[in-house]
Amino acid sequence: EELEHKVEERTLALKQANDELRQRIDELTRLGNWRKKWFSHISHDLKTPATIAGGFIDAIIDGKVQPAHIPRYLDKISDRLWTINQLVQNLYDLSLLETRQTRLKPETMPVYALLERLLAKWNDPLVLKGRTLNYELPMIMDTPVTADVHYLGRAVDNVLDNAVKYSHPGSAITIQARMAPRSLLLHVSDCGIGIPSESLKHVFDSFYRVDPARNSGVPGSGLGLAIAREVLHMHGGEIHASLNENPGCTFTIEIPLEEVEPDVSQISKAPV
Ligand code: ADP
């Protein structure tokens, strides 16, 4: 009987070890797939602009471009280099945020002061490129809120950049601020091309772009909303996308009103 008991114990331990091993293998496979996905996206997204810029430079060196056209070519080269630079910067920022190597520098201020600082640059017609920006702000906004203005600004900018990029000149973008019992809600709505409902939950994944965006020539890397989501999570907040009844979509940013700790403990899982 004792022997039977021992065998049972051993079998159980073996089964547990087997399960753990299987879990580890699954984890490693997921990580390997994630690495492959990142490498293929990064190499593709860097290769395209680099090849085009290289082609223009070769054409100039080989004397195939008339001198009068050289400034136009230099402009195009500069555009491609800017794209590469943006991609590298976004990748770097996202990797620091995802691995929590970035610490927030929280500041406490009244809600109206935070909104002023977040939205100041959006009063400029140059950044709106022909879209109008409407505000719907509540009367009472002196509740204190704690946030890292730099990073939260990045998140809000990425959402507003998209509202501009994926809507038409002449259309309106609305920013609505609302006080919920424990959080400040910012709704950013546009009347643009919208997002298919099956893509709504994917738009925050790194490198994800809805097909029309990928194919329309609208520049982008699919990293802006992934950065925004990491920033909100580090604040203990959230970000969601939803569809409007009319064309267009609404992004809701939820910033908690309680104190934000500069947090390094929560390492987010690598997306698969
Ligand atoms: P990108 O650099 O491609 O804009 P993002 O991470 O900011 O990357 O957004 C991911 C994708 O979500 C975009 O490629 C686009 O397909 C979709 N998207 C984001 N915001 C909007 C919006 N306001 N209207 C329509 N589609 C949007």
Residue 156 is predicted with a pLDDT of 98
CA–centroid distance, residue 193 to ligand 1 (Å): 10
C-beta 193 within 6 A of ligand 1: yes
Residue 269 is predicted with a pLDDT of 44
C-beta 203 within 6 A of ligand 1: yes
CA–centroid distance, residue 215 to ligand 1 (Å): 12
Phi, then psi, of 139 in degrees rounded to 5: -70, -45
One pLDDT digit (tens) per residue for the chain, 272 residues:
888 899 999 999 999 999 999 999 998 888 888 788 888 888 988 999 999 999 999 999 999 999 999 999 999 999 999 999 999 999 999 989 988 888 999 999 999 999 999 999 999 999 999 999 999 988 778 999 999 999 999 999 999 999 999 999 999 999 999 999 899 999 999 999 999 999 999 999 998 999 866 667 788 889 999 999 999 999 999 999 999 987 899 999 999 997 555 554 444 444 44
In whole angstroms, give the CA distance from residue 151 to residue 100. Answer: 13
Residue 262 is predicted with a pLDDT of 54
Quick one: DSSP state of residue 72? H
CA–centroid distance, residue 30 to ligand 1 (Å): 25
CA neighbours within 13 Å on the CB side: how many for 257? 15
**199: how many CB neighbours lie within 10 A of its CB?**
17
Which residue CA neighbors atom 16 of ligand 1 most closely? Answer: 210
C-beta 188 within 6 A of ligand 1: no
Residue 144: which of 105, 110, 185 has the closest Cα? 110
**CA dist list (Å): 108 to 21, 25, 73, 116, 236:** 47, 45, 48, 14, 15
Residue 266 is predicted with a pLDDT of 45
CA–centroid distance, residue 125 to ligand 1 (Å): 21
Asked if 239 and 228 touch (Cβ cutoff 8 Å), the reply is yes
SS3 category, 203: coil
In whole angstroms, give the CA distance from residue 153 to residue 162. Answer: 14
Question: Closest ligand 1 atom, CA of 221?
Answer: 2
C-beta 162 within 6 A of ligand 1: yes
Quick one: DSSP state of residue 121? G
Which residue CA neighbors atom 19 of ligand 1 most closely? Answer: 162
In whole angstroms, give the CA distance from residue 54 to residue 65. Answer: 14
Residue 45 is predicted with a pLDDT of 87
Residue 34 is predicted with a pLDDT of 78
Hey, what's the torsion of the CAs at 155, 160, 163, 166, to 10 degrees?
-70
Q: Give the residues across from 242 on adjacent strands.
A: 250
CA–centroid distance, residue 222 to ligand 1 (Å): 7
